[in-house]
Structure 1
Amino acid sequence: MKPNVFKFLAAVLAMVLLPLAQAERIKDLATFSGVRNNQLVGYGLVVGLDGSGDQTTQTPFTVQSVINILTNLGVQVPPTGSMQLKNVAAVTVTAMLPPFARQGQPIDVTVSSLGNAKSLRGGTLIMTPLKGADGQIYAMAQGNLIVAGAGGAAGGSSVQVNQLATGRIPNGATVEKLVPTMLGSGDYVTLELLQSDFGTANRVVGAINSQFGPVAAAMDGRVIQIRAPLDTNQRVAFLARLENINVAQGEVSPKVIINARTGSVVMNQAVQVDPCAIAHGSLTVTIAADNQVVQPNPVAGGRTETVTNAAVDIDVGKGPVVKFPKAVNLNQVVKALNAVGATPQDLLAILQAMKVAGALKAELEVI
């Protein structure tokens, strides 16, 4: 076979595989309506701590919780007694109830200190009901905590690695009540896109109909209605095939994300910049304090005092004017921004000014 034929076949193969490499599965783009997690929360006590529990004088609710538990267990606590507890900590218990969860199914729980306990390491969570948003109990949690952190203190010095006030209990809760999950009503199931987009909705409908015939229709830019078999087993098999259908990616909208708190700037590959000129100077304020001790005249009968002389200096950096060339891809945009020599904090102001001037061809989002 001639070399030119090899080149032709390689080019054809690359053209065929390119759409597949850029395709996404429907399960990565959307979810089925009604199939979701449910948050659970509860309040409980962790016991068995080695003197690292709540300081009960500052957390009276811990003492009240212990009294309530002891009363329920048949132990009478004198009302005038002052309980000084060191091995007990009040905690919040959270968990995620997965869809289609059944009674008796174990789920993981996260236990977090609610008071001023120093550490939950080595503690045991006693039976805690977990409630949903409707106030109903859906699971019961209990078990030994796993705390990834470690710490120690001696002689006024302390060291700590990771977090000691939060732990997890794998399979620490048992589901006690079902959450009805309606996977569609009647002949239809509903598919909801993770991000509303008319183009994506249109491509998803086209991909589904090319596999199963005219069974899907877009209600809007987010919701897609699909006709599915009525038989439960056939419907599950149908949805299993449906969620693995590949959908070709559309054009990415240019976007720049700015985190004003951390100074992080993230931009995608579709960002473009028109030619412009940028001058950005830095402002530096320096404050120097000179502390001096003033001695009074011995005859005057005064007293020695400390005088602080502060010198404030403001330096306005002279930023040169930098010509910003036209950049049509991400590499060129990054190279042009580096030429300005601005810090990430400076880029926050520069990018916003470029957007106002119309030179930045992207959506600017501040988080």
Structure 2
Amino acid sequence: MKKSRWLQSILQGGAVLLLGISLAQAGERIKDLGRFGGWRDNQLIGYGLVTGLAGSGDSQRSQMTQQSLANMLKQFELSLGPDQVNSRNVAAVMVTANLPPLLEPGARIDVTVTSIGDARSLLGGSLLQTPLKGIDGQVYVLAQGALSVGGYRYDSNGNMVQKNHPTVGQIPAGGIVEQAVATSFIRDNAAELLLASPDFTTAERIAKAINRTLGGQIATPLGAGKVRIWVDASTTAGAMDLLSRIESIEVTPDERARVVVNERTGTVVAGGDVRLSAVTVVHGDLKISVVTDYQVSQPQPFIGSAGEVRTVVVPQTRMAVQEKPLPGINLKGNSTIADLVAALNRIHASPRDVIAVLQAIRTAGALHAELVIQ
């Protein structure tokens, strides 16, 4: 794979980082360009309690926490009403996780814990056993364990010290899979390859590469984002072997020419195949400065006119108009974005000017790429 070439231009008033990414690269594996239909994560969610907090949990105003704690104690034959529970060492939380495909019962996944009450910090807490359910209401994962917060918050006498975000934590490998998600990659003797970046040319190249490598006409593009592959599903081992061989086939993807501009950070990212037609750019700067000074007139009082003497504020305005010379640049046909930024650097253009010039060139029809402004 060829190295991406980059150009960093330090311009007047800030920095513009231009990245020219070459798309003329070696082939990518099909498994890096898309996924087979049925291969997807499943989002899980659950409600639980975090205990063991050092007085930083939910207050009595959080009635759901008191009710949840009372309900939990009933499982251990302790009958207490919500009004009899008073503890700031407990916090009500929501627990979320992503369940990857093909995980069998007993596998472990990471879970994220977020406070939903008025707890100040989850530092040092442990999550009690919490069932995580899918969209179908079934329990797929049980989560429990000590939280890793990565921050803290301490209050004392009205003073507060806080680092990062202490009301969100993680439990690495804190979820145990209880039920596998049924996944089917082959339906009606066919598998579908779904492209991560839909493109007609890439889909056609993938189908041709599969047919050329495996022989026959087993792959057919169904659109810009889907390729159907005929699979002999008589044996599971044979089908898995075929899909594994398909994943390792290398294909050179085709992408649209695109220029991404971030005005907040002054970053311009362009593909290596972005070209410019012959264009002339004139850069000018007209600066108008208006300054107003306020002076106070305080006359001295004199005999017989004390009631008529007043202090008066007198504004004095100065206006200056300054227009710099109009530098211009000429770009020949088939120039690149790097050539444009280098030319703008020579005339001391600011990052905002670079972005404005790119927009104007795109409007003029000389930029043959999609301009994405973030």
* Secondary structure at the counterpart of residue 120 of structure 1: coil
The letter for the 1-side match of 2:115 is S
Query: How far apart, in 1, do the equivalents of 2:151 and 2:25 lie?
Result: 41
Question: In structure 1, what is the equivalent of residue 258 of structure 2?
Answer: 255
- Indicate the residue corresponding to 2:102 in structure 1: 100
Letter in 1 for 2:225: R
Per the alignment, residue 320 of structure 1 pairs with 326
Contact 2:120/2:153 (<8 A) preserved: no
Over 3 Å counting, the alpha-carbon distance change for 1:320 and 1:236 in structure 2 is same
In structure 2, the CA distance between the partners of 1:71 and 1:283, relative to structure 1 (3 Å rule), is farther
> Which digits, 9 at most, give the CA deviation of each residue in 1:283-305, with x for residues without a partner?
7999999899x9xx9xx9xxxxx
Q: In the alignment, is residue 162 of structure 1 matched against residue 164 of structure 2?
A: yes
Select between 166-175 and 325-334 the one with higher mean Cα deviation.
325-334
Aligned residue identity for 2:269? V
| Partner in structure 2 of residue 42 of structure 1 | 46
Q: Structure 2: 5+ residue runs without aligned partners?
A: 1-22, 307-312
Inter-partner Cα distance in structure 2 for 1:85 and 1:36: 41
Match of 2:186 among 181, 184, 187: 184
Structure 1 residue aligned with 2:30, among 1, 10, 26? 26
Q: Shift in Å at residue 360 of structure 1? A: 2.1
Decide whether the 8 Å contact of 1:22 with 1:249 is kept in 2.
no
**Deviation, structure 1 residue 84:** 4.2
Identity %: 39
Q: 3-state DSSP class of the match of 2:335? A: coil
Which residue matches 2:67? Answer: 64
Q: How far apart are the structure 1 equivalents of 2:293 and 2:42? A: 57
- Residues 361 and 340 (structure 1), Cα distance of their counterparts in 2 relative to 1, 3 Å cut: farther
Stretches of structure 1 that go unaligned for 5 or more consecutive residues are 1-18, 301-306
The count of aligned residue pairs is 335
In structure 1, give the amino acid aligned to 2:256: S
Deviation of 1:53 (Å): 1.8
Matches of 1:286 and 1:142, distance apart in 2 = 65
Among residues 129, 137, 153, which one is paired with 1:135 in the alignment?
A: 137
Taking structure 2 as the reference length, what is the TM-score of the superposition?
A: 0.77
Aligned residue identity for 2:193: L
Measured at CA, do residues 310 and 234 of structure 1 come closer, stay the same or move farther in structure 2, by a change above 3 Å? farther
Q: Is the CA contact 1:282–1:319 (under 8 Å) kept in the aligned structure 2? A: no
Against the structure 1 CA distance between its residues 362 and 322, is the aligned structure 2 distance closer, same or farther, given a 3 Å change threshold? Answer: same
Alpha-carbon distance in 1 for matches of 2:320, 2:137? 59
**What residue in structure 2 maps to residue 332 of structure 1?**
339
How many Å separate the matches in 2 of 1:56 and 1:314? 64
Higher RCO (C-alpha under 8 Å, 6+ residues apart): 2
Quote the Cα distance in structure 2 between the aligned partners of 1:89 and 1:266: 45
Q: Residue by residue, what CA displacement relative to the aligned partner does 1:14-35 show, whole Å, maximum 9, x if unpaired?
A: xxxxx99611110111110001
Per-residue deviation, 1:129: 1.6
Note the C-alpha offset of 1:157. 5.5
Does the C-alpha gap of structure 1 residues 213 and 124 become closer, same or farther in structure 2, counting only changes over 3 Å?
same
Q: Distance in 1 between matches of 2:208 and 2:237?
A: 25
After TM superposition, give the deviation of residue 269 of structure 1 in Å.
1.6
Q: How far, CA to CA, are the matches of 1:226 and 1:257 in structure 2?
A: 35
CA distance change for structure 1 residues 86 and 264 in 2, over 3 Å: closer, same or farther?
Answer: farther
> 1 or 2, which has the higher helix percentage?
1
Question: Is contact 1:106–1:172 with CA below 8 Å preserved after alignment?
Answer: yes
User: Following the alignment from structure 2 to structure 1, what is the Cα–Cα distance between the partners of residues 154 and 322?
Assistant: 48
Equivalent position of 1:173 in the other structure = 175
Distance 1:219 1:149 in 2: 49
Task: Output the TM-score relative to the length of structure 1.
Answer: 0.78
- SS of the equivalent of 1:181 reads coil
CA, structure 1 residues 257+315, in 2 after alignment: closer, same or farther (shift >3 Å)? farther
Aligned to 2:57: 53
RMSD across aligned positions (CA): 3.5
Distance 1:85 1:128 in 2: 20
Tell me, yes or no, if structure 1 residue 361 matches structure 2 residue 364.
no
**2:70, 2:82 within 8 Å by CA — same for their partners in 1?**
no
- Tell me which residue corresponds to 2:348: 341
Q: Which amino acid aligns with 2:339?
A: Q
Q: Deviations over 1:254-281 (max 9, x none)?
A: 2112345555432222222332223254
Match of 1:225 in 2: 228
**Counterpart position of 1:242:** 246
Tell me how far apart the structure 1 counterparts of residues 204 and 148 of structure 2 sit (CA, whole Å). Answer: 47
Partners in 1 of 2:316 and 2:68 — Cα distance? 55
Q: Deviations over 1:313-355 (max 9, x none)?
A: 9988757343242362343133123235344344343322221
